[in-house]
Structure formats: structure tokens, C-alpha cells
Amino acid sequence: MRVLLATRNEKKLAELDRILATAGLDVPLVGLAAVPSYVELPETGLTFAENALGKAREGAAHSGLATVADDSGLAVDALHGMPGVFSARWAGRQGDDLANLELVLAQVADVPDEHRGAAFVCAAALVLPDGREWTVHGEMRGTLVRAPRGTHGFGYDPIFVADGHDRTNAELLPAEKDAISHRGKAFRRLAAILANLG
């Protein structure tokens, strides 16, 4: 069974591939670049789960493959949970990681260290061509540092330190991050579902 990850983000594709392999699941994984193109609907859901399910349903319908999609982002306590579902376009342009990160840092610049709590949140969905679907969640709590550190990862990783750690997500090796990340937790739950499909 081939599985489509409904993303054009090669880093996410590599991340899911690592997580599934670590979970002992050997399934061929492809991204959107490997299937006939279709018009991707904008993410209009107000929750991570709505957006993940929408993308997974769309991918399964157009490709005929079991499709995994996720929506994830950063929820900052001092910003009342924002940027949340708007994380990838917080600064106004989709996928401008540096601009998004700099805007969040500016918005919490005067917030004392003890109130700089945040969480990475992930909703991941699996939709089969026969209409069966599952949604799982993962969360990683932590705090925001005042300046980016590290060269691994992507998005807000350089400014986020997970609880119990002293390095940012961008300072962790990929396998270290996968073991504790919101996406790692959610994708391992999906891996268990995929394994039981036989």
C-alpha cells in the first residue's frame, strides 16, 4: 500500500518517512509532487483537525491513495494561542519561516521569561479511498527563547525549547526532535493505525 503525504514540504516528507521507519512500518511514502496535480483548496478551517482532514480527504479523492495530512503550528500562551492555525502565514505570506518567527519574537519581546510558554500542536489525519478516516493529535509543550538558535528543523524550531530540554528544536538532531515532537507523537499514532490495516 502506497501512502500519500499531502504536502509539498520535503522536510515534512522526510520527517514522516523517518517516524514511520522508526515505528517499524515499511510503507512507500510519496508527496504531492509524485501524483497528478490537482487544485489544492485553501486551508480555511479554524482548527488543526479541520485543515488536516480537508487536505487528507482531497488527496485521497484525487490520487486514489491512502492519504495522510497534517496541520500543525505554534500556540503561544501570551498570544492567547496564536498564531495557531495561521502559523505558516502569520507574517502575511505562506511559508515565510523567517518572517513568521521574527514577528512572533517581536510580539512577545516584552513578555517575561516565566510567561513565554508555548506549545507545538499537530493534528494528523488519515483518509482511505473507501472513505474511512481517522484523526489523531500530538502536542509538545515548551518555552520561547529570545533569539533563534540552531540550524536543524524548520518553522519556529529555532525559538522553541521543549519542556525538560535546554536546546531549541533546531539544535536537536532530527531523531531527537522526532522522539519528542508534536508531529512525531501524532504520526506514531497514525503509524499504529496504518499497521493494523494490514
Which residue numbers are catalytic? 71
Burial class (CB in 10 A: 0-12, 13-18, 19+), 147: exposed
Query: What distance in Å separates the CA atoms of residue 58 and residue 39, rounded to the nearest whole number?
Result: 9
Contact between 74 and 145 under an 8 Å Cβ cutoff? The reply is: no
Examine residue 83 and say whether the peptide bond preceding it is cis (omega within 30 degrees of 0).
Answer: yes
Query: What distance in Å separates the CA atoms of residue 31 and residue 165, rounded to the nearest whole number?
Result: 32
26-50 residues labelled b (16+ CB within 10 A) or e (exposed): eeebebbeebeeeeeeebebeebbb
